[in-house]
Chain A
Amino acid sequence: MNVTLKVWRQKGPNQPGGFVEYKAEGIIGDMSFLEMLDTVNEGLVAKGEPPIAFDNDCREGICGMCGLVINGVPHGPSKGTTTCELYMRHFHDGDTIVIEPWRSVAFPVMKDLIVDRSAFDRIVQAGGYISCKTGSAIEANTIPVPKPIADRSMDAATCIGCGACVAACPNGSAMLFTSAKIGHLNLLPQGKPERFNRAVHMIEAMEAEKFGGCTNHGECEAACPKSISIDFIAFVNREYMGAYWTADFE
């Protein structure tokens, strides 16, 4: 099949950008979205033009590197899927596909479709860890964890930090990411000792990056390639209130 692409091209940070049209010809439905872009890039390189720059790494939906806003939807039209796992069979011959980078004050565009997501790293550095002695791993069942709690924690821990929640949010909020990162640790016994510091510090780090606030639209959950629920946002709101209620944080 043949599709027309309207791709955001931008030479570098803080430079003006705009849509450029490309024809993607001879695309097969079993190609992933990124393989389709590879095909277009091969054509561009052959013509001596600069290829479209986009982030990607594992191409199996677990690394969180890829992420494009495809026709106004982060990660495109299929639910619970990263851009790399989106297949061209979800499109039709003759379609026009508009591709844009994530838009957020905290995610500056570096080039074309690549954004700098190190703001997420700084949020995690503010408390997305547990403090413990390293060394050989302790026996796994020393601390019992109830199965439902372990499952909920794992649901949050599936976050790959791609930033689709921010991209989809009408307010550019990073609440889903931050609450997933706080939630997966605060639910577990190992994360409990630092739960209140973690909740307050990571929320404050999120705000220091100038992400917006949550207004409960639920767009993040719909865009999330791991379908992480906004239940974790409510959970973190509760942890945050608990921190101020007990005043057990720095």
Chain B
Amino acid sequence: MNWFVRFYKSSLGKKIIMAVSGVIFFGFVFLHMYGNLKMFMGTELVEGLGVYKYKMDIYAEHLRTFGEPILTYGMLLWILRFVLVLALVLHVTSAVQLWLMNNKARPQNYANALKSQVTTFFARTMYYTGPLLFLYIVYHILHFTTGDIHSSTHIEGQVYGNVYNAFQTWWIALIYIVAMIFLGFHLQHGLWSMLQTLGINNPKRNLWRKRFATAFTLIIVLGFIAVPIGIQAGIIPEPHYQPNSTVIAYHETGR
């Protein structure tokens, strides 16, 4: 039997694949959260052009020019998208297969339900937060990446403006905030769990694994929801773009 087929057939193989794809998602959401915080940083004078641009827009453009000239325009972004889609396919397929397998392990359930001793709310809701996050990812891509949902205010390139306009609507802001709370639930168990599955464990220093999970869950969730809250609270200023440009800010100075 091919070694990979044998590895994948085992529950441990699937779990290791889930953990490795989980590491990829963890890196992704952390960097995504970091990039989003550019929303708070206003504008910047572009040297040589003598115009102001929103730092968020510069950052978004930089993701496309990153690595030039070795990479071509937008290449890094497409490589990342490919890796993320592959990781998502593997993560979801493994999760569904493990779920089906685990469902068969106790055909006759306890007549008097088992009482949980130590498992957490976050661990028990992984099977719900996972599919909810999947739906959210589809919604989020259709909204901000392709601009197909809430498209009336979507202008390609005006990342700052698009985010600002979307989160002006309270219920869109709410959808994103709720989705990020679900992400937090998933991360709280997932971050610790991926370390356990990958065997990153030392009985003498295991406390830090739960601390790591809690700390990064809080950093990621708070970092993400800061943007919709910042816009709803009026901390992030209204965008002003030059009428004849999709990227140049109207402001002459920062903010």
Residues of A within 8 A of B (CB): 6, 8, 18-19, 69, 71-73, 98, 100, 103-106, 109, 152, 168, 170-173, 203-204, 207, 210-219, 221-223, 229-231, 233-235, 237-241, 244, 247
Contact = CB atoms under 8 A, between A and B. Distances in A.
Please tell me the size bucket of the interface on B.
Answer: 35 or more
Contact of B198 (A19, A98, A237): A237
B111 A219 contact: no
B53 interface: no
B119 A218 contact: yes
B117 interface: yes
Contact of A219 (B102, B107, B112, B117): B117
22 contacts: A19-B111, A69-B110, A71-B112, A71-B115, A100-B111, A103-B106, A103-B108, A105-B106, A170-B114, A204-B10, A207-B10, A212-B106, A214-B15, A218-B119, A219-B114, A219-B118, A222-B117, A222-B118, A237-B15, A237-B16, A237-B198, A241-B199
Contacts of A221: 118
Interface string B196-208: 1111110100100
A214 B111 CA distance: 23
B101 A212 contact: yes
B197 A244 contact: no
B7 A244 contact: yes
List of 10 A-B pairs having minimum Cβ-Cβ separation, nearest first: A238-B199, A212-B105, A172-B105, A213-B11, A234-B201, A72-B115, A222-B117, A171-B102, A217-B119, A212-B102
B118 A213 contact: no
Given A71-B115, A210-B105, 20 more contacts: A18-B111, A100-B112, A106-B105, A168-B114, A170-B102, A170-B119, A171-B106, A172-B102, A172-B105, A173-B105, A212-B11, A212-B102, A214-B11, A215-B126, A219-B116, A219-B118, A223-B117, A238-B201, A240-B12, A241-B198
Given A171-B102, A212-B101, A207 B123 contact: no
A223 B117 CA distance: 8
Nearest to B98: A213
A230 B117 CA distance: 14
B10 A237 contact: no
Given A212-B101, A231-B206, A237-B16, A103 B118 contact: no
- Provide the main secondary structure of the chain A interface: mixed
B102 A104 contact: no
Contacts of A207: 10-11
A173 B102 contact: yes
A98 B124 CA distance: 24
Contacts of A237: 12, 15-16, 196-199
B91 interface: no
Nearest to A98: B112
B208 to A, nearest CB: 14
B10 A216 contact: no
B101 A216 contact: no
B183 to A, nearest CB: 18
A119 to B, nearest CB: 11
Interface string B114-146: 111111000110100000000000000000000
A113 B28 CA distance: 50
A155 B225 CA distance: 45
B154 interface: no
A207 B97 CA distance: 13
A114 B119 CA distance: 27
B171 interface: no
Contacts of B119: 170, 217-219
A216 B114 contact: no
A142 B195 CA distance: 36
A103 B112 contact: no
Contacts of A100: 110-112
A152 B203 CA distance: 10
B186 interface: no
A106 B118 CA distance: 24
Contacts of B12: 203, 213, 237, 240
B192 interface: yes
A19 B112 CA distance: 10
A216 B118 CA distance: 11
Given A73-B117, A204-B10, A241 B16 contact: yes
Nearest to B197: A237
B203 A229 contact: yes
A216 B196 contact: yes
A56 to B, nearest CB: 21
Which of A104, A171, A173 lies at the interface centre, i.e. has the most chain B CB atoms within 10 A of its CB? Answer: A171
